[in-house]
Structure 1
Amino acid sequence: MKSSIYVFVICGLFFAAVGVFYGFYTDFSEMVGFPALLLVGAMALMIGVYLWLTDRRVGRQPQDNEHAEISDADADYGFFSPWSWWPIACAGAAAVAFYGIAMGWWIFPFGAVLGLVALVGLAYEHDRGDHAH
């Protein structure tokens, strides 16, 4: 995690310096690039500070150990059903809803209703049928 901290802090300082240089180069008359570069630098610094605080709280991570195995960084990601069709239904509902936002608002409620049905199906798929607990 230490290398990630260094990368984000260095990128943040770089973008802040480039933003200030860009502002002086354009006499601060072009007000899109200067604030954008400063904001990119601020966001990179925020990520670097977050990683630094997390590293300080958590301690030594497996990726910081040169003799660590790949399996040392494995974590429990939860339980997922490889046979489930509900994520595809969720994706289809999101596609219909976003299509409705882009093409016509009258389509959006259909996508929202399909999304609610898909989310309920995804949440309760282990409570009924062959895989009920």
Structure 2
Amino acid sequence: MKSSIYLFMICGIFFAGTGVVYGFFTEFTELLGFPALLLLGGMSLMIGVYLWLTDRRVGRQPQDSEHAEISDADADYGFFSPWSWWPIACAGAAAVAFYGIAMGWWIVPFGAVLGLVALVGLAFEHDRGDHAH
């Protein structure tokens, strides 16, 4: 985690400094690049500070040790159903909604309704049938 902290802090300082220099070269008349670079630097610093605070709270991570194995950082990522069809329904509903944004706004509500049905099905697929807990 230490290398990530250093990376984000250095990027934040670099982009903030680059934004100020860019502002001076454009005499602060170009109002897209200057604020964008400052915001990019600020967001990088925010991530760096978050990682630093998390590192202080959690302590030494396996990725900080040169002698750690890959399995030392292995964690439980949750339970996923390999037989579930609901993720495909969610992707189809998102495709319909984004198609509606591109082609006509009247299609978006159909995608939203399909997405709501797919999300409810995905959330409650283990509450009934053969796989109920």
Amino acid at match of 2:91: A
Amino acid at match of 1:113: V
Corresponding residue for 1:113?
Answer: 113
How many pairs were matched up?
133
Distance 1:26 1:19 in 2: 10
Identity, % of aligned positions: 87
Residue 127 of structure 1: CA displacement? 2.2
3-state DSSP of counterpart to 2:48: helix
Corresponding residue for 2:22?
Answer: 22
Q: Equivalences for 1:52-91 in 2 at 5 Å?
A: 52-91=52-91
Q: TM-score, normalised by structure 1?
A: 0.94
Residue 101 of structure 1: CA displacement? 2.3
3-state DSSP of counterpart to 1:19: helix
Amino acid at match of 1:68: A
Where in structure 1 do 4 or more consecutive aligned residues deviate above 4 Å?
Answer: none
Amino acid at match of 2:110: F
3-state DSSP of counterpart to 1:21: helix
Amino acid at match of 1:103: M
Distance 1:96 1:41 in 2: 36
Corresponding residue for 2:33?
Answer: 33
Amino acid at match of 1:62: P
Distance 1:33 1:125 in 2: 47
Amino acid at match of 1:11: C
Structure 2: give runs of 5+ residues left out of the alignment: none
Structure 1: give runs of 5+ residues left out of the alignment: none
Amino acid at match of 1:63: Q
Map Cα deviations across residues 12-64 of structure 1 (whole Å, 9 max, x no partner): 11111111111111111212111111111111111100100110111111101
Distance 1:30 1:116 in 2: 43
